[in-house]
Amino acid sequence: MKKDQDLWSGAVIILFALFLISQMKKLSFMQSVYPMTLAVLMIMAGIGILLRALITFKRTGKSYHALSLRDLVLQAVIPGSFVIVMCLLLRNLGFYIDVFIVMAGICVLQDFVIKGKLSISPKLAAKILAFSASCSVGLYISFNILLKLSTPAGFLGF
């Protein structure tokens, strides 16, 4: 039986995240909040990859996804470059504005990948803006209010 790349990828991501969690036991609670959050998100992503592979296998009899150059650029190069640029601008824009822009950019790119063309209706734009704003507000409540952690402030002061 041919080894499936999606199943292996999902398993490796989950194992790596579990390794990270095991290393965080040495940190205090406040120091481990952010890395623990990332590790949990990695586990969720790994489970999503595994489920996608299993569901695709059940539907088509194979779960291998061939990645074309176009797909690689749309799904890895552009989002990766976008996130790197936003990380570089984090100190200038501030964490919450940066999160807002990243989430809106990811939503627009996801819509482009699904539809195959860039067409954003006013209704979709409102949904994207509402989702991005709710992500920023949710993170503000989580980090600043509940955990009392400071985040990088930008030119607007937040």
What is the mean pLDDT of the segment spanning 91-96?
A: 83
CA atoms within 13 A on the CB side of 64: 7
pLDDT classification of 38: cutoffs 50, 70, 90: confident
**Rounded-to-integer distance, Cα 142 and Cα 149, Å:** 9
Query: What value does the mean pLDDT of the chain take?
Result: 80
Q: What is the pLDDT of residues 62-91, one digit of tens each?
A: 655 666 666 667 667 777 777 778 777 777
State residue 64's pLDDT score.
Answer: 59
**Rounded-to-integer distance, Cα 124 and Cα 103, Å:** 14
Q: Which one has a higher pLDDT value, 71 or 132?
A: 132
**Rounded-to-integer distance, Cα 102 and Cα 94, Å:** 12
Query: Is residue 129 scored above 80 in pLDDT?
Result: yes
Closest by Cα among 60, 86, 106, 103 to 154: 86
What is the mean pLDDT of the segment spanning 6-35?
A: 81
- Cβ within 8 Å of residue 46, ≥6 positions away: 9, 10, 11, 12, 13, 14, 17
**Rounded-to-integer distance, Cα 28 and Cα 58, Å:** 44
Outline where the chain has alpha helix (H): 5-23, 29-60, 69-72, 78-88, 90-93, 95-115, 122-140
State residue 3's pLDDT score.
Answer: 47
State residue 4's pLDDT score.
Answer: 66
State residue 11's pLDDT score.
Answer: 84
State residue 63's pLDDT score.
Answer: 56
State residue 134's pLDDT score.
Answer: 94
